[in-house]
Amino acid sequence: MKILVFVQQEEGKINPVSIEAIAGAQQIASQCGGSLSALTFNASAAEAVTSYKVEEVLLTEDTALDTYSPLHFVKALQNIMEAESIDLLVLGHTYEARDWVPRLSARLDIPFISDSVGFKSKNGLTLVRSIYQGKFNADVAVPEGKSIVSFQSGAFRADSIESGSSSVKKVPVELSDVSDNIRPGEKFQEAEQSVDLSQAEVIVSIGRGIGKEENLQIVKDLSGALGGELASSRPVVDAGWLESYRQVGSSGQSVTPKLYLALGISGAIQHVVGMKGSKNIVVINKDANAPIFEIADYGIVGDILEIIPKLTEKIQSA
Ligand SMILES: Cc1cc2nc3c(=O)[nH]c(=O)nc-3n(C[C@H](O)[C@H](O)[C@H](O)COP(=O)(O)OP(=O)(O)OC[C@H]3O[C@@H](n4cnc5c(N)ncnc54)[C@H](O)[C@@H]3O)c2cc1C
């Protein structure tokens, strides 16, 4: 099986979801048997990818590919997949991928198994997709022939990526006949004070257990002491106590920090789906049966209003 992972970048800076996709593609190649190459549209991104374990890094440069352009991306990938006889294209499930990859799938008339959260390698390749707001996982067997798969942020850990050394191969494509009648508008700008929780290493997340808005200060103090970002479950945002960009979960951000503190959060699936990829999960909840304990690495059964100030004090004095 010939596997190609597409590395999304902006001005040479690789999208973190693409790093995770490379890690996932490496695992597919080793468990299902296959050769793995990477493709990117930027020379410095290509250079960076040579330090990962891939057989070669394909580089396609064209001014039409310097910034996002769905029709040019589709044509480039169509040509490269055909010329290189690629069986499986792997991508991170970014906003851009959602936009242009279905068109590529239709153009090549091959399936696109999108937004997968993992894979199984028994009896061929099977993708795992989360369905019904994360309540169930569905196994989707990859049919014989060619396919495209995208992986959700957090499906693989970026730090599980294998290092290696490969060289860059330039792959020119002819794009002069591509129409430019789909042009992206200006990039969506996050609200001025928004934070990108997906990049945070430490997240202190608060749930309805905080009780009232005035109690939030103790959580802010803890977050400050840890040098972390403040986040929350949905009820805290719905109540207007924190900004909507701080919400973690299926209708908020997906996060994969090194440390996630879940304070007064019950563990509803819509929340868990956005943070279960965190490396260390510390839970404080007064209900020993709260479902969030099922995914906790460390758990404390107790009252957050008592424990948080003491924890902050200890951290500050340490
Ligand atoms: C379509 C849809 C999308 C959704 N998207 C999201 C989403 O993106 N993110 C999200 O978070 N939710 C989302 N939800 C809501 C989700 O279903 C839950 O309602 C929500 O996650 C619950 O938040 P919570 O855990 O803070 O509150 P609760 O479920 O009310 O839990 C509060 C917890 O705090 C504990 N507690 C109370 N007081 C204390 C105390 N003093 N000390 C310690 N523990 C205490 C309780 O034991 C309880 O476990 C969505 C729902 C739907 C239908």
| d(CA 207, ligand 1 centre) in Å | 6
Q: Is 318 helix (H, G, I), strand (E, B) or coil?
A: coil
The beta-carbon contacts of 185-194 under 8 Å, at least 24 apart in sequence, are 190/245, 191/243, 191/245, 193/243, 194/243, 194/245
Residue 206 CA: nearest ligand 1 atom is 26
Backbone φ/ψ region at 115: left (φ over 0), alpha (ψ -120 to 50), beta: left
Per-residue pLDDT tens listing for the chain (318 residues) = 999 999 999 999 999 889 999 999 999 999 999 999 999 999 999 999 999 999 999 999 999 999 999 999 999 999 999 999 999 999 999 889 999 999 999 999 999 999 998 999 988 899 999 887 666 789 999 988 999 999 987 788 888 999 999 999 999 999 999 998 998 888 766 555 578 898 899 999 999 999 999 999 999 999 999 999 999 999 999 999 999 999 998 788 889 899 999 999 999 988 998 898 899 999 999 999 999 999 999 999 999 999 999 999 999 999
Please work out whether the CB of residue 287 comes within 6 Å of at least one atom of ligand 1. Answer: yes
Q: How far apart are CA 70 and CA 183, in angstroms?
A: 8
pLDDT at position 180 is: 86
Please work out whether the CB of residue 250 comes within 6 Å of at least one atom of ligand 1. Answer: yes
Residue nearest to atom 9 of ligand 1 (CA): 249
Domains within the chain, CATH numbers bracketed: 2-170 (3.40.50.620), 197-317 (3.40.50.1220)
pLDDT at position 71 is: 97
Query: Measured on CA atoms in the order 290, 248, 96, 36, is the torsion positive or negative?
Result: negative
Please work out whether the CB of residue 197 comes within 6 Å of at least one atom of ligand 1. Answer: no
| d(CA 235, ligand 1 centre) in Å | 6
Please work out whether the CB of residue 301 comes within 6 Å of at least one atom of ligand 1. Answer: no
pTM, two decimal places: 0.72
- The amino acid sitting at 108 is L
